[in-house]
Amino acid sequence: MITLETLVPATGMFSYAWLMIAVPAVVAAFLLIGGRILDRVGHWLAVGAVLVSFSLASCLFAHQLLAGPEARAVTVPLFDWITTGMWKVQAGLLVDQLSILFALLITGVGSLIHIYSVGYMAHDERRRRFFAYLNLFIAAMLILVLADNYLVLFVGWEGVGLASYLLIGFWQHKPSAAAAAKKAFVMNRVGDLGMTMAVMSMLALFGSSAFVAVNEGAAKLDPFWSTTMGLLLLLGACGKSAQVPLQAWLLDAMEGPTPVSALIHAATMVTAGVYLVVRSHAIFEMSAAATTAVVLVGTVTLLVGAWIGTSKDDIKKVLAGSTMSQIGYMMLAAGLGPVGYAFAIFHLLTHGFFKANMFLGAGSVMHAMDDDVNMRHYGALWNVTRVTFWTFAMGYLAIIGIPPLAGYFSKDHIIEAAFEVSTVAGVAALLGAGVTAFYMTRLMLMTFFGEKRWRDGVHPHESPKVMTVPLVILAFFSVVAGVVMNGWIQEWLEPATGAHAHEVEWLPTPIGWLTMLLVAAGVGLAWWLFGTKPVPDTAPASRNPITIAGRNDLFGDAINDALVVQPTLVLARGLVANDSRVLDVGADGIGTVFSGLSARTRRLQTGQVRAYALTMTIGVLLVGAVLILTQLG
Amino acid sequence: MSPDNYLYLAAILFTIGTIGVMIRRNALVAFMSVELMLNAANLVMVAFALARGGLDGQVATFFVMVVAAAEVVVGLSIIITIYRTRRSTSVDAANLLKL
Amino acid sequence: MIPLVTGQEVTFWIVAPLMVLGALGLLFFRKAVYAALSMAFVMVNLAVLYASLNAMFLTFVQIIVYTGAIMMLFLFVLMLVGVDTPDSVVETLKGQKVAAWLAGAGMLGLIVFGIGGALAGGPQVGLDQANAAHGGNVESLAALIFGRYVFAFELTSALLITAAVGAMVLGQHARTRPKVTQRDLAEKRLRDYAASGAHPGSLPNSGVLARHNGIATPALLPDGTVSEASVSAALASRGVILDAPALSRTTAEAFEAIEGPRAEEDDQ
């Protein structure tokens, strides 16, 4: 059942929606070009730019709230972008119920992370550049979610990829950071290939890439094309959202500064895949195969991510695994069909709050521990960094799903919806919740409790206000976001997702109770393993295959290496051999012949004027002779 | 009298000029040989002006003389410039125009 | 029938061989000056041919412009670069001479049989009518130059100006060292004197106290010896200066004549 949005043209405030994108983009360019003069004020400029975008988004949101449901989806045509022959692509923005939520999340969490970064990056001499990249990211991400057609969306899609690349590799003097950036970029290219092909087939089949046209055309699509397009879009989503099989880059992406991990690799960019799937729901609904693939990818990723999270000692990598896992939940929800779209977005928003909160908290801990990321070197920090601890705890409770915090509502709905569609997916989601509780508790225990395992010379201290205030705000949202949105979001998103609102439960259902039981089991197991006995200073050697696999990211890199890298290398070596042994010999042979010839002919060039005069005379004679002979004939 | 004889004379002079350019190594003499070739051409034009009854040949000769004057001025300056740097007017000395 | 021999033919047969000889001089004289002179000879003869061909204006232009101006310019330049540097006879390019002669022969054949064959014969019109159109050769030429060919004529003026400017540009050369002033020279002279004791004043004139005052006559110092500094080094190296002992002998004799009787008087 597809409900088409009723779009109204932009008036009033909405005509200025493009400013949301333009302001951070211009500031980014300004900061990059501006030079050292801006070193002192550049970061506040960047913060200001995001705040401007945020206030604009809030105003638009308020307008939408006040307007009736039929006047909420607004198109803002900007300009004719590509006009060639029969093609006419218009660049325009679509401010509807879905995109405004994203815009709010991006600019809201973005603003907090910007402010946090002012403190976090205070001692980095390239801070201005960092903020320019962050603003670039905000602008690109807003293009992505506000676009009204897939081509413009793709511009944003590539823009966030670029910003992600620049920010992961921001400390490019570290070879590992440079390599991680490259890895993220290359793996995203694989996904982008799917994305490009999907957009191209849209243009070919529908003659347009606008969401409206695609939604209309999808209804009449034959099964082959809807499946193909769905799978291609899923490939794109997998790349951007670090879903299996393109998951390997996200763990390495933690090489970037922590605010980047919070903003890009937890709250916003990596959720773009979910946005894409929800936005393209018209296509996915036409193909059972594509939907099943989405569910499969989501389920596998939520387990894989959780598994990796259980065995890492690097605090950021635990959180990265957790991010993969949570996005797996969202994917799963998005694949469940109309029943799940709103829950996917719901979980996306709450996750954006509590995961950003925890990443920033982790950044604060690292700040206290001299940028050490190994949790085995932490311990007993709750008393030292109190604000960080309490805010982190809010995020922790939210993610493992303790009612009435944010994660409880959003995750519980997904698990229930999964059971409605498929028992296997439901069980996996349930299991994932238990594992989540386990690894998050482990993280909490190793970081904040137990005895001190600090390295020599490390003197933990609480972070400055500029960093803790965003933490507090995010923690607040981690607590209340679920309650606020639970009864409201389905209805709100109804026109955009075409799904009818269900009655949602406020109190735990039987499945909810079961989830909480598993969560309690996970917490208990973690307490028994890490809370009751001292944590070893170095990771103990383990024979447990589950641990070994988890520590090695489930051999994701090895699999990629064996399946893609090695065959490519073999092919490349073959081509090189062919090039040097077959083609070059031929080409060099021709070259040798000609250089030999020219070495001889160049003797004619004596530099003697008289020799040239002789040559010229002979030439005149020849021409004359030819002329006379032709006259004779 | 037929212009043929003048043509043959001019041909001989022209040929001598050509050979002069090719075998004389003094740039000034080679240059004079070029002048000889110009003069040979002039002779033909004047001879045929008479034979064909038009003054255009003489006008052309006049223009050739003007051009020759200009050419000599520039050519001699070049020879002097070369002489100033190389202390020689031999065309063989200036053989940098090669690989 | 007796062949009608005209003045034009007589002139041609006298002048033509001379011209060929002169032109060959261009090929065979080893000294450039001789080549230039034989070239001037060819040009004067050419003027004679022009005259016999009813081209009076060109005759004078040929003599005035070509022989008078251009060839003299050549001679000037020859003086400038050194008159007496003959061409080397050793041919540096292998086979160049033979090939040149062969190519020359080919060129002659091409002109005579190719162009000559195409042009030979045809009507003999004469210039009387064309010259009469404006009252004479010069007037008719002027009518053509300032009439039909006026545009080409104006272009030649541009060409001449360009050539003049070009010659000036080529002729001047950038100063490679600062200009030496009188003051610099004076200071240098005194510095040399301080350093090596070189005489700072002007050199002695030639011939002072000697019998002649020509530049080839060295001056004699008061003691009768020859002052090397009084004659130019170039003349000294050529060995054209007058013999110093011969000069100083007269002085010595004069001293003798004065000193001899005096000595005798002293003895007495």
ipTM rounded to 2 decimals: 0.91
Chains in contact with C, where contact means 3 or more Cβ–Cβ distances below 8 Å, are A, B
Considering only CB atoms, A611 lies closest to which of C96, C104, C114, namely: C96
CA gap A408, A125 in Å, rounded: 41
- C215 and C149 within one domain: no
Q: Name the domain boundary from C117, C150, C167.
A: C167
Least Cα distance to A231 among A162, A147, A150, A296 occurs for A296
Least Cα distance to B37 among C39, C209, C158, A597 occurs for C39
CA gap A198, A153 in Å, rounded: 12
CA gap A104, A94 in Å, rounded: 14
Least Cα distance to B1 among A421, A428, C52, A308 occurs for C52
Instruction: Please report, for the domain that includes residue B31, its CATH number.
Output: 1.10.287.3510
Domains held by chain C: number: 3
Judge whether C236 lies within some domain. Answer: yes
Gap from A608 CA to chain C (nearest CA, Å): 8
- pLDDT at residue A51, rounded to an integer: 94
Judge whether B47 lies within some domain. Answer: yes
Q: Hey, which residues 193-222 in chain C have their CB within 8 Å of chain B? A: none
- C142 and C74 within one domain: no
pLDDT confidence bin for C93, thresholds 50/70/90: confident
| Tokens coding B2 | 């037929």
Q: Which residue of B has its CA nearest to A605?
A: B98
**Is C103 within 8 Å of A624 when comparing Cβ atoms?**
no
Judge whether B41 lies within some domain. Answer: yes
Domain encompassing residue C258: 203-267
**Is B99 within 8 Å of A605 when comparing Cβ atoms?**
yes
Show the CA angle centred on residue A533, arms to residues A531 and A536, nearest 5°: 105
pLDDT confidence bin for C268, thresholds 50/70/90: low
pLDDT confidence bin for A391, thresholds 50/70/90: very high
Phi-psi region of C208 (alpha: psi -120 to 50; beta: other; left: phi over 0): beta
- C231 and C153 within one domain: no
Chains in contact with A, where contact means 3 or more Cβ–Cβ distances below 8 Å, are B, C
Judge whether C181 lies within some domain. Answer: no
- C148 and C210 within one domain: no
Judge whether B95 lies within some domain. Answer: no
Is A11 near chain B, with CB under 8 Å? no
Considering only CB atoms, C35 lies closest to which of B1, B32, B71, namely: B32
Q: Which residue of A has its CA nearest to C108?
A: A621
| Tokens coding C107 | 């060129």
Is B1 near chain A, with CB under 8 Å? no
Residues of chain B in contact with residue C109, where contact means CB-CB under 8 angstroms, are: none
Q: Which DSSP string do the residues of A94-140 spell out, in sequence order?
A: EE-HHHHHHHHHHHHHHHHHHHHHHHHTTT-TTHHHHHHHHHHHHHH
Is B78 near chain A, with CB under 8 Å? no
**Is B66 within 8 Å of C97 when comparing Cβ atoms?**
no
The pTM (predicted TM-score) of the whole model is: 0.63
Considering only CB atoms, B53 lies closest to which of C43, C120, C126, namely: C126
Least Cα distance to A335 among A247, A249, A270, A243 occurs for A243
pLDDT confidence bin for A77, thresholds 50/70/90: confident
Instruction: Determine the residue among C11, C31, C61, C74 to mutate to test chain B binding: the one whose Cβ has the most chain B Cβ atoms within 10 Å.
Output: C74
Peptide bond into A69 cis (omega under 30): no
**Is B4 within 8 Å of C24 when comparing Cβ atoms?**
no
Residues of chain C in contact with residue A617, where contact means CB-CB under 8 angstroms, are: 103-104, 106-107
Judge whether B97 lies within some domain. Answer: no
- C69 and C9 within one domain: yes
Instruction: Determine the residue among A612, A618, A627 to mutate to test chain C binding: the one whose Cβ has the most chain C Cβ atoms within 10 Å.
Output: A618
Domain encompassing residue B71: 4-86
Q: Which residue of B has its CA nearest to C117?
A: B4
Domains held by chain B: number: 1
| Mean pLDDT lowest among A324-333, C33-42, C124-133 | C124-133
CA gap A99, A111 in Å, rounded: 18
SS3 state at A333: helix
pLDDT tens figures, B16-31: 999 999 988 888 899 9
Judge whether C94 lies within some domain. Answer: no
**Is B80 within 8 Å of C159 when comparing Cβ atoms?**
no
- Give mean pLDDT, residues A46-60: 93
pLDDT tens figures, B44-65: 999 988 888 888 899 999 999 9
Judge whether C179 lies within some domain. Answer: no
Q: How many CB atoms lie within 10 A of CB A602?
A: 11
- C215 and C163 within one domain: no
Judge whether C65 lies within some domain. Answer: yes
pLDDT tens figures, A522-550: 999 998 888 888 878 777 777 777 777 77
Q: Which residue of C has its CA nearest to A621?
A: C107
The per-residue pLDDT of chain A, averaged, comes to: 88
